[in-house]
C-alpha cells in the first residue's frame, strides 16, 4: 500500500518552522516550474468595526507570508491569494478589502508581487464532483496549476472538524454553499464536503495550528495557543492526521468516512506515514459541539441563567453560515433580555429541517428556509416569521418583541460589534498575540 507522507512540526520560529513542514512532507516537490499558484487561506469572518478574536479562527498572516517566501525561493512568479469571505451582506465588498489590507496581504502584493482576489469578484464555473454533486467553484481555482491550501486546525460545530477539504468551501459561490446545507437524508453537509477535493489541481495542504479553536469555525468557541503545523501533499491524509491531533478518530468524522469511500482509501491511518512529531505528543482533545440541555431545547448558558418558557433548539447541519452567525446575535440579545420572569412558551426554529413542537404558544421561524418549511404547519399557534436570506435584523428584533422577549435594539443595530464582546476572554493573556496577523 502506498504511504502518503504527513509532517507534524512544532511552530517555533518564523519561516523556518514552515520550511521544515514543507521539507519533511515533500509538499512542494511536485510544484511545476513557472506554475501559477493559488494560495487559499481561511478567513471565515471579518468585521471593520471592532477587534475580534482571530486566534484559531482565521489563518495567520505569518504562515501566509512564509508560504509566499518559500514559493518565491522556488522561482514562482505568479501567486494569487484568494478567499470568498462570508459577510452579513453577501454584496459587501468593503469588508473583504479591509481584511486583506489589515492582514497585510496588500503589503505582500507590494513586496513580492502577489495578486489578491475576492472570489466573489470573479466568475464561477459549474463543476461536476461526481456522486450527483454539482457546485459552482471560483474560476481562480481552475486557472491555477497548483493550490496551496492553508486552513486553520480547528473543530467545527456541524462537521466535527474543519480542515483542508472543508476549507475549499470558501471557493464556492453563495448558492452552492447554501446547497451544501441541504436537508437531504443522505446527501447532507458531510456528503457534500467530502467531494470538494475531487477536481482540484495538484495541492499542498498546511494546517495552521499555531492557534487552534474548539467549537469553531468562528470566535464563539474556546481558542488555544497550540503551536502545531501539519503538512502534506495529500489533502485527505492531512485531514485524517489533523482529526487525530484534535482528538477524533477519522471514523468519527462523517465527511472523512464519505471521502474514504469516494477516494477508495482506508479511513484509518494505515496508508499514512507521519514524520516529524508523533501524533500522541501533540494531540489534545478539542470539543466540537456547543453544550445544550439534555433534550437539546436550550443552550447551556441560557439554562444557567435560569431561562424558562423558551425553546431555542440545538442547531443542525442544515443551518447555513449566514443563519448560524445570526444565531449568535439572537442568543446574546435573548440572554440580555432575561429578567427572571418565564416567557410564554416561545419556540425558535432554525435551519431547514426543524418542525414545531405541539403546544408551544409562539413559534419564531428564523430565515426564509425555515419559513418555507413550516408556513402552513398546523402545530403552530402563533407564527412569527423572520423572513429573508440572510434574515433581516430589524425583523428579528420585532419577532422577539412580539413573542414577549424585550430584546435591546442595540444587538441588531450593531451586529458587527458583537464579535468584540468575545475579546474579553483573551485580555491579559500574552500567548494570544496580534502580531501573527500582521506583516512586518
Q: What is the pLDDT of residue 326?
A: 86
Q: What is the pLDDT of residue 43?
A: 97
Residues 30 and 145 sit within 8 Å (Cβ to Cβ):
no
Q: What is the pLDDT of residue 86?
A: 85
Arithmetic mean of pLDDT, 163-188 = 96
Residues 329 and 350 sit within 8 Å (Cβ to Cβ):
no
- Classify each residue of 71-83 as buried b or exposed e, where b means 16 or more C-beta atoms within 10 Å of its C-beta: beeeebeebbbbb
| Beta strand residue intervals within 24-103, DSSP E | 36-41, 78-83
> Rounded CA gap, 346 and 337, in Å?
14
Mean pLDDT of the chain: 96
Q: Is the pLDDT of residue 103 over 90?
A: yes
| Residue 219 backbone phi and psi in degrees, to 5 | -90, 0
> Which pTM was predicted?
0.96
Q: What is the pLDDT of residue 287?
A: 98
Q: What is the pLDDT of residue 325?
A: 85
CA distances 260 to 204, 240, 346, 361, Å, are 19, 10, 43, 46
CA distances 211 to 46, 61, 287, 364, Å, are 17, 12, 15, 37
CB-based burial of residue 435 (10 Å sphere; 0-12 exposed, 13-18 middle, 19+ buried)? Answer: exposed
Q: Is the pLDDT of residue 98 over 90?
A: yes
pLDDT, tens digit, 9 for 90 and up, residues 214-270: 999 999 999 999 999 999 999 999 999 999 999 999 999 999 999 999 999 999 999
All three cell numbers of 79, joined, read 501567486
For residue 233, what are the contacts with CB-CB under 8 A and spacing of at least 6?
4, 5, 25, 26, 27, 28, 29, 30, 202, 203, 204, 205
DSSP assignment of 224-283 equals EEEEEEEEES-HHHHHHHHHHHTT--GGGSHHHHHHHHHHT--SSSTTEEEEES-HHHH-
User: Would you kindly state where each structural domain of the chain is located, as residue ranges?
Assistant: 4-288, 300-423
Arithmetic mean of pLDDT, 275-285 = 98
CA distances 209 to 33, 69, 140, 232, 432, Å, are 29, 19, 26, 14, 13
Choosing among 1.10.3720.10, 3.30.1390.10, 3.30.70.100, 3.40.50.11440, the CATH entry for 4-288 is 3.40.50.11440
Q: What is the pLDDT of residue 322?
A: 83
Residues 183 and 318 sit within 8 Å (Cβ to Cβ):
yes
pLDDT, tens digit, 9 for 90 and up, residues 71-90: 999 999 999 999 999 887 87
pLDDT, tens digit, 9 for 90 and up, residues 3-50: 999 999 999 999 999 999 999 999 999 999 999 999 999 999 999 999
Match 426554529 to its residue by C-alpha cell. 349
Q: What is the pLDDT of residue 318?
A: 97
> Rounded CA gap, 438 and 440, in Å?
6
The one-character DSSP state at 426 is G
CB-based burial of residue 96 (10 Å sphere; 0-12 exposed, 13-18 middle, 19+ buried)? Answer: buried
Residues 65 and 107 sit within 8 Å (Cβ to Cβ):
no
For residue 436, what are the contacts with CB-CB under 8 A and spacing of at least 6?
55, 60, 61, 62, 210, 211
Q: Is the pLDDT of residue 2 over 90?
A: no
Residues 9 and 210 sit within 8 Å (Cβ to Cβ):
no
CB-based burial of residue 280 (10 Å sphere; 0-12 exposed, 13-18 middle, 19+ buried)? Answer: exposed
Residues in the chain: 440
| Residue 2 backbone phi and psi in degrees, to 5 | -65, 130
Arithmetic mean of pLDDT, 173-180 = 96
> Rounded CA gap, 320 and 211, in Å?
25
Question: Beta 36-41 vs 146-150: how paired, if at all?
Answer: parallel
Q: What is the pLDDT of residue 89?
A: 80
Amino acid at each position: 500500500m502506498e504511504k502518503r507522507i504527513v509532517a507534524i512540526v512544532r511552530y517555533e520560529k518564523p519561516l523556518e518552522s514552515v520550511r521544515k513542514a514543507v521539507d519533511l512532507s515533500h509538499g512542494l516537490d511536485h510544484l511545476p516550474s513557472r506554475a501559477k499558484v493559488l494560495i487559499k487561506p481561511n478567513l471565515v469572518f471579518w468585521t471593520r468595526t471592532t477587534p475580534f478574536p482571530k486566534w484559531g479562527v482565521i489563518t495567520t498572516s505569518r504562515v501566509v507570508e512564509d508560504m509566499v517566501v518559500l514559493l518565491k525561493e522556488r522561482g514562482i512568479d505568479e501567486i494569487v491569494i484568494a478567499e470568498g469571505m462570508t459577510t452579513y451582506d453577501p454584496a459587501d465588498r468593503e469588508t473583504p478589502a479591509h481584511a486583506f489590507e489589515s492582514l497585510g496581504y496588500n503589503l505582500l502584493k507590494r513586496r513580492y508581487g502577489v495578486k489578491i482576489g475576492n472570489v466573489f469578484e470573479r466568475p464561477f464555473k459549474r463543476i461536476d464532483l461526481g456522486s450527483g454533486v454539482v457546485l459552482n467553484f471560483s474560476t481562480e481555482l481552475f486557472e491555477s496549476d497548483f493550490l496551496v491550501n492553508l486552513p486553520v486546525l480547528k473543530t467545527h460545530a456541524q462537521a466535527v472538524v474543519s480542515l483542508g477539504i472543508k476549507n475549499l468551501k470558501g471557493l464556492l459561490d453563495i448558492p452552492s454553499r447554501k446547497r451544501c446545507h441541504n436537508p437531504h437524508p443522505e446527501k447532507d453537509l458531510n456528503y457534500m464536503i467530502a467531494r470538494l477535493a475531487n477536481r482540484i489541481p495538484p495541492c499542498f495542504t498546511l494546517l495552521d495550528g499555531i492557534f487552534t479553536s474548539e467549537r469553531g469555525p468562528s470566535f464563539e468557541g474556546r481558542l488555544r495557543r497550540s503551536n502545531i503545523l501539519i503538512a502534506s501533499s495529500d489533502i485527505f491524509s492531512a485531514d485524517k492526521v489533523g482529526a487525530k491531533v484534535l482528538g477524533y478518530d477519522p471514523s468519527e468524522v462523517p465527511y472523512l468516512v464519505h471521502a474514504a469511500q469516494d477516494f477508495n482509501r482506508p479511513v484509518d491511518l494505515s496508508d499514512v506515514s507521519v514524520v516529524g512529531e508523533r501524533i500522541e505528543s501533540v494531540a489534545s482533545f478539542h470539543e466540537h459541539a456547543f453544550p445544550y440541555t439534555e433534550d437539546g431545547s436550550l443552550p447551556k448558558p441560557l439554562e444557567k441563567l435560569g431561562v424558562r418558557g423558551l425553546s431555542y433548539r440545538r442547531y443542525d447541519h442544515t443551518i447555513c453560515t449566514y443563519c448560524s452567525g445570526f444565531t449568535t446575535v439572537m442568543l446574546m440579545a435573548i440572554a440580555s433580555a432575561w429578567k427572571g420572569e418565564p416567557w410564554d412558551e416561545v419556540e425558535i426554529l432554525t435551519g431547514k429541517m426543524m418542525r414545531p413542537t405541539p403546544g408551544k404558544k409562539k413559534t419564531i421561524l428564523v430565515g426564509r428556509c425555515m419559513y418555507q418549511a413550516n408556513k402552513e404547519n398546523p402545530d403552530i399557534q402563533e407564527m412569527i416569521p423572520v423572513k429573508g436570506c440572510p434574515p433581516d435584523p430589524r425583523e428579528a428584533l420585532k419577532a422577539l418583541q412580539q413573542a414577549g422577549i424585550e430584546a435591546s435594539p442595540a444587538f441588531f443595530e450593531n451586529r458587527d460589534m458583537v464579535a468584540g464582546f468575545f475579546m474579553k476572554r483573551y485580555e491579559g493573556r500574552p500567548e494570544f498575540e496580534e502580531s501573527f496577523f500582521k506583516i512586518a
